[in-house]
Amino acid sequence: MNPISQLKKKLPSPLRRLADLAYNYWWSWTPDRMSLFSIIEPTVWQNCYHNPVALLEAVSYERLSQVAENPDYLKRLQVLANHFDAYMRERSTWGRRVAPHLTPEEPVAYFCMEYGIHESLYTYCGGLGVLAGDYLKSASDLGVPMVGVGLLYKQGYVCQRLNRSGWQEDFYRDNDFEHMPLELVRDEYGQPVTVKVTVRQRTVRVQVWKARIGRVDLYLLDADRPDNDPIDRKLTGQLYGGNRETRLAQQILLGIGGVQVLHTLEIEPSVYHINEGSSAFALLEVVRLEMEYAGSTFDEAQRWVRDRSVFTTHTPVPDGNNAFSADMMDSFFGHYWPQLELEREEFLNLGARRIGDPWEPFSLSVLALRMTRQANAVSQRHGKVSREMWQILYPDKAEEEVPIGYVTNGAHLSSWTAPLLVDLYSQHLGKNWSQLHMNTTDIWTHVELHLASKEIWQNVNAIPERELWRRHCILKERLIAYARSQVLASRLERKEAKDDIMAVERLLDPNVLTLGFARRFSPYKRGALIFKDLQRAIRIFSNARRPIQIIFAGKARPGDDEGKRIIQRLMEWCRHPALRDRVAFIEDYDLFTAKLMVHGVDVWLNTPRRPTEACGTSGQKAAFNGVINLSIGDGWWCEGHQPGRAGQPSNGWTIGEEVDTSDQEHQDQIDADSLYTLLEREIAPLFYERDRHGIPHKWIAMMKASIRTNAPNFNSDRMVAEYVMRAYLDDLSRPLPLKAGHVA
């Protein structure tokens, strides 16, 4: 009996459809997601990290029976279940019409090291994983046949706890896969499906779990089996944990093991999509299988695989984390290259930037670039950076001719837009504003998604200002209440002084202009730039007429002491007498915190060093909710920012100017001065300019501009559609131009 049927047996009969919803993450991007499960038992829901399976298993049968007597709840459940059934049964999807060669038996296989689907499935670290999760969701919504392949980590990514000195202490929580929205994949005899992967001359047996993401299945590999060596059981213990040998072993499991899983499940992908270099070994395994079954040579099999493979690079710097010494490659692959009928040097050259250089490390990004038919960066600027970075692989081409295009990332609008605003959009953009529409006259020139339709989003102008502002204020109050509760819990855990505990009541003010900064704390992201000139920052934050406050969240990676020192400095400023009510840090950043922040702040702050932001999608999510971006001109914001002109308001602000300087300290000072000037002279005055009813008309005009200009261009439906049209179609004789922002 599968886990869905088992859960149904435990539920009162009127509630049994909850089991179908609990085991498919489709529920997490429906407008009803806020209360579908939480209303059953709010405390349990919070304690189980919003895991619907764990909730339904933990709540007493008596309580479930009470819910089953509520006619309003049962009506809502039936409507949602009917919607789910119709969604899953739909056959005339955008994907089926545009790319009929993609089928459930021959889908796109999407490989990635991490997936940010929902906070209850802790298989993500940050932007890469959240992007991959949004990608699968939009593939499901568009009806593009796809399977995801990744690893299932027993302890997920690092958890964060700050001690009294503000230093990040790393710890981990074990995941209980048996009580999560996951299904262990079994064969016809009821036994777990396993594959064998050789890692350093040891055989590692890997089992497979399936997560349902709407119409898309995500297969996650797990080495934590009793028949494995204790060391090998830990290979899927932590995301980005362990040493370099562990990382290489994980990438072998993901790439080689992932291809073997698809082969075992009799899934024959039409396209292999390598999302970041970590999964590039998949390409070698597909070559090996093609050689084995077709009797072809390596060169013949390599050409066959290249014609079916695409690569997305997400890094704007040489990928040291995905490059390994020749000695390490000898240790892990000495048994493997003979199966490819290659000599050692031939194998190592596949990943070498300089062929024949014995000191050149083996780069997975280089391997992916050499073995795929098409490669792309994740924003227009990142494309330029990538062509410059990888020109060494194409010595006969000028930099602008290097074959790396770009598809600008997008975010899944239904997941990241607050239900309060989804309701508002439904009223003023039309009930079917989020549905798909396609003019089939010529799919190459007339493909249009409603979410990518500028005409539909022009209707944002019709939303009453007072109603948009009212809903924004509700979301802001919700965020501040959450921030206070999290800060209070952290201070209680640290056993801080009573005065500091009581001070939480004064922390943040819903009426004050609120900035949000949430991302991984690495030095290049410059999380502390806003406090570079502390005295000036204090004057701005404590201004009597136009005060400002900021909410921070994010983690430093284990071992990144410089990133941890940035957090420690922020915690010092949280305690500064002039700032203690204006600066909050929410610990243990996760997807739930991220959603509340992009829903509720007034301004989204982003301050990376140029050009180290490949794309950065958090600002896109904020824009869906009417939050205004204040960002360095890097990544997606180079395309997204529109200055005001011809009576039209701007949709945000760009910090600083890119000057020709190698002095990073000087550049930091230039950018900090620009940030302070914008806050003092433009942003705060605009926010506090109100009519007699307290409505900031000019600010709301910018909120509408933020929604209207960014939502159609930077949602993940547009992104997935671009990949389908430019990379997945079986007839690419008329490829679309390498341009982002529009499908057609």
Q: In this predicted model, which residue has the larger pLDDT, 10 or 357?
A: 10
Average pLDDT over residues 358-372: 94
Mean per-residue pLDDT for 628-632?
97
Question: 261-287: per-residue pLDDT in tens?
Answer: 999 999 999 999 999 999 999 999 999
Rounded CA separation 102/729 (Å):
8
Number of Cβ atoms within 10 Å of the Cβ of 273: 25
Q: How confident is the model at residue 446 (pLDDT cuts 50, 70, 90)?
A: very low
Which residue ranges does the chain devote to CATH 3.40.50.2000? 101-372, 508-715
Q: What is the mean predicted confidence (pLDDT) over 366-374? A: 96
DSSP string, 26-77: GGGGSGGGGTTTTTT-HHHHHHTTT-HHHHHHHS-HHHHHHHHT-HHHHHHH
**Nearest-angstrom CA–CA distance, 273 and 261:** 16
Q: Which stretches does DSSP call E strand in 229-365?
A: 271-275, 309-312, 323-324, 362-363
Mean pLDDT for the chain?
Answer: 93
Residue 742 has pLDDT above 70, yes or no: no
Partner residues linked to 171 by β-bridges = 159
pLDDT at 432: 73
Report pLDDT for 443. 39
What pLDDT, on a 0 to 100 scale, did the predictor assign at position 449? 56
pLDDT at 740 over 50: no
Task: Give the per-residue pLDDT at 744.
Answer: 30
Whether this prediction's pTM lies above 0.75 is answered by: yes
Number of Cα atoms under 13 Å in the Cβ half of residue 564:
15
Q: Average of pLDDT values for 310-330?
A: 87
Q: Which residue has the higher pLDDT, 455 or 660?
A: 455
Instruction: Write out the DSSP string of 165-210.
Output: T--EEEE-----GGGSS-EE-B-TTSPBPEEEEEETTEEEEEEEEE
CA end-to-end span of the chain, whole Å? 47
Structure confidence at residue 733 (pLDDT): 40
Least confident range of 31-45, 184-198, 694-708: 31-45
Of residues 664 and 582, more confidently modeled:
582
| Average of per-residue pLDDT across 252-260 | 98
* Site of tokens 């057609």: 744
According to CATH, the topology of domain 101-372 is Rossmann fold (3.40.50)
**Which pLDDT tens digit goes with each residue over 481-506?**
999 999 999 999 999 999 999 999 99
Percent of the chain with pLDDT over 70: 95
Phi-psi region of 592 (alpha: psi -120 to 50; beta: other; left: phi over 0): alpha
- The per-residue pLDDT for 445 is 38
Beta bridge partners of 416: none
Q: How many C-beta neighbours within 10 Å does residue 170 have? A: 16
pLDDT at 694: 95
- Those residues whose C-beta lies under 8 Å from the C-beta of residue 646, and which sit 6 or more positions away, are none
Tokens linked to 681? 């002279």
Whether domain 508-715 has CATH 3.40.50.2000: the reply is yes
Mean pLDDT of 602-620: 95
Biggest CA–CA distance in the chain, Å, is 80
Question: Measured between alpha carbons, how far is 699 from 711 in angstroms, rounded to an integer?
Answer: 18
Q: Give 112-143 pLDDT, tens digit per residue.
A: 999 999 999 999 998 999 999 999 999 999 99
Banded pLDDT at 697 (limits 50, 70, 90)? very high
At 35-92, the pLDDT tens digits run 899 999 999 999 999 999 999 999 999 999 999 999 999 999 999 999 999 999 999 9
Digit-coded pLDDT (tens) for 213-252: 999 999 999 999 999 999 999 999 999 988 999 999 999 9
User: Is the model's pLDDT at 444 over the cut of 90?
Assistant: no
Question: Which of residues 260 and 241 earns the better pLDDT score?
Answer: 260
By the 8 A CB rule, do 130 and 617 touch? yes
pLDDT digits (tens, 9 = 90+) for 380-437: 999 999 999 999 999 999 999 999 999 999 999 999 999 999 999 999 998 777 764 4
